Amino acid sequence: MKVLIVEDQPRLGDFLRRGLSERAYTVKWTKSCAQARDALSEFSYDLIILDLGLPDGDGLGLLCEWRRCGFNEPVLILSARDTLEDRIKGLDLGADDYLPKPFSFDELLAHIRSLMRRHATVKQAVLEYAGIRMDLMGHSVQAHGQHLDLTSREFALLEVFMQNAGRTLTRSYITERIWPGLVDTNLLDVYMSRLRSKLGPESGGSVFKTVRGVGYQLK
């Protein structure tokens, strides 16, 4: 299980990284909003542990940004802001759980296990965005009511974008999800061209944005 830690305090961040790594979690530790954005553009994570007081912004603003972009993975706020109003605000803005500092590491582990159990039961079977409807169980796609005939690879590629709608995804991230271990990412361009062709007529133009030097975005 991959965990992203967003925590600017060196001692606490290192404590969380070491503690979770010792329990077989794959951990990425970032110390700012900018680093967290970069981490999420490169890889997907099963859980984010988010501090609120960050050097380049407020964690709540980062949380709102993620939710607006369709990022649905569970977020656990870990913060010294421990009033009832703070907890309510964090949960209302999209956090899945809120644990005030100071905390017991065993309690943190219990919260993580609880979030994973809850999240495992709410996986979406149908994804909808920008007029596109994707039925994961039925393996079918419609664009503005019109059925699209996609190959299995095209379906898998579109699913990656639908799961990350609004987020800019790097070429390496997309390629690793569709063709694990593939070094040459030129194959991605071929499949993006096919998807654009199939989605274009029904969508009134391409729904994909090319971010030069980075990757693609389902806009």
List of domains in the chain: 2-120 (3.40.50.2300), 126-218 (1.10.10.10)
Phi-psi sector, 144: left (phi>0), alpha (psi -120 to 50), beta: left
E strand or H helix at 10: helix 10-22
The predicted structure's pLDDT at residue 144: 84
Q: What pLDDT is recorded for position 70?
A: 66
Confidence (pLDDT) at 202: 53
**Looking at residue 204, what is its pLDDT?**
47
Mark 79-98 as b/e (b = at least 16 C-beta within 10 Å). Answer: bebeeeebbebbeeebbbbb
Q: Which residue has the tokens 């419609």?
A: 142
In 10 A of CB 18, how many CB atoms?
Answer: 12
CA distance 61 to 214: 24
User: What is the spatial distance between Cα 136 and Cα 42, in angstroms, rounded to a whole number?
Assistant: 24
**In tens digits, what is the pLDDT along the chain, a chain of 219 residues?**
889 999 999 999 999 999 999 998 999 999 999 999 888 877 778 899 999 999 999 999 999 888 877 677 899 999 998 888 888 888 988 899 999 999 999 999 999 998 888 776 555 678 888 889 998 878 889 988 889 988 888 998 999 999 888 888 988 888 888 887 676 678 899 899 989 888 875 554 578 989 988 899 998
Distance CA 62, CA 8 (A): 14
Cis check: omega of the bond before 102, within 30 degrees of 0: yes
